[in-house]
Amino acid sequence: MSFPLTPASPADLGLDAAALDRLHAQITAHVADGRYPGAQVAVARHGKLALLRSFGDARLDPARVPASDDTLWLLYSNTKVLTACAVWLLAEHGALAFTDRVAAHLPAFEANGKGEITLIQLLSHQAGFPNADMPSQAWDDHELLRKTVCEYALEWAPGSRVHYHGRAAHWTAAALIESVTKVDYRRFIRDEVIVPLGLGDELFVGVPDAVQHRAADMHEPGPDGRPVKRADENNARFRRAGTPGGGGYGTARAMAAFYQMLVNGGPSPAAGCSRRAPSSTCCATTPATAWTATWECRCIAASARICAAPPTRFAASARWRRRGRSATAASGRRTAGRIPTRACRSLI
């Protein structure tokens, strides 16, 4: 799997090389002073990687492990953008719209007065339940995850204020993804967001056991100011869980590539995304139970011809006539019996 960003000199990208040298020196000094054991930094611009540096140690005990360019660091709330990107992808393909009520796609979410909360309110920290959380037992129990999310109680009227939802909003987004796709949210994020970008070796929402040795331990200042290993996060179960609002792991260069994709409008063919040729057959060739049934096949005959496969809960076909265009308008007009292919835009 090739990495999507090619190296380039800072000067070629219009960056201040001296400023990058000062950044390097400052981080080196902080590590030497014991502020933290290690770090990694990446700088990218115009679809190219200008800087990648690793500093200090990834782990201090039971044995010192130097940080390398392949070390995986806990992303904390950078994980939110990966989860949100999966929801954007569903919107791009017409499975939902940001103006939809969450409860329209996640049955029972309307409990406790949450029935009118929209996806845009959820993802922009306006849902009204910022302090709700998820028990660790739900990391491995999808039914408990759904039940807990649906039972969240409001702290104020949705949309009445913006207040950071540290965990609750993206746990809700995870349950929403699973309800719509019938796929584990971690698997969906990996298969539909991370791997198509060419980042499958460097970005994880749920770290497999086989690569956990690459994960850095996370530290915080102790009473004497020296780094102390955090108790809740430095264990295999937490890394494996891939909590959707703060439990992803990745390299700095992987996140640089991801943000370059966002700022430049979408994935490029160089990032592992290729245009799918239109199918010449109806959707009956794809099992109706497959979550891709209404995405990856399309009828290209006259608009009067309709897909033969029965629609799944994932399908937005019942809404095509009402919504003339997709939520992102990236693919042009939707008509009955025709589903636009995924846009594959230039990274540059």
Mean pLDDT in residue range 327-346: 32
Instruction: Return the SS3 of 72.
Output: strand
Report which of residues 192 and 286 the model is more confident about.
192
* Cβ atoms 83, 178 nearer than 8 A: no
- Non-local (6+) Cβ contacts of 231 within 8 A are none
Instruction: Return the SS3 of 218.
Output: coil
* Cβ atoms 120, 84 nearer than 8 A: no
Closest CA to 292 of 103, 80, 89: 89
Instruction: Return the SS3 of 54.
Output: strand
Residues 222-252 pLDDT 10s? 898 889 999 899 999 999 999 999 999 999 9
Report how far Cα 217 is from the mean position of its chain's Cα atoms.
22
What are the domain boundaries of the chain?
1-69, 72-250, 275-348
78-92 and 252-263 are packed helices; what angle lies between their axes, rounded to 10 degrees? 40
Please tell me the predicted confidence (pLDDT) of residue 287. 44
Q: Left, alpha or beta for 332 (phi > 0: left; psi -120 to 50: alpha)?
A: left
* Cβ atoms 158, 116 nearer than 8 A: yes
Distances (CA, A) of 16 to 6, 9, 10, 23, 229: 19, 10, 7, 11, 35
Torsion of CA 262, 263, 265, 267, to 10 degrees: -50
* Cβ atoms 106, 314 nearer than 8 A: no
Residues 10-46 pLDDT 10s? 999 999 999 999 999 999 999 999 999 999 999 999 9
Residues 23-32 pLDDT 10s? 999 999 999 9
Torsion of CA 170, 171, 172, 175, to 10 degrees: 120
pTM above threshold 0.75: yes
CA distance 28 to 22: 10
Residues 50-67 pLDDT 10s? 999 999 999 999 999 999
> Is it true that domain 72-250 has CATH number 2.60.120.580?
no
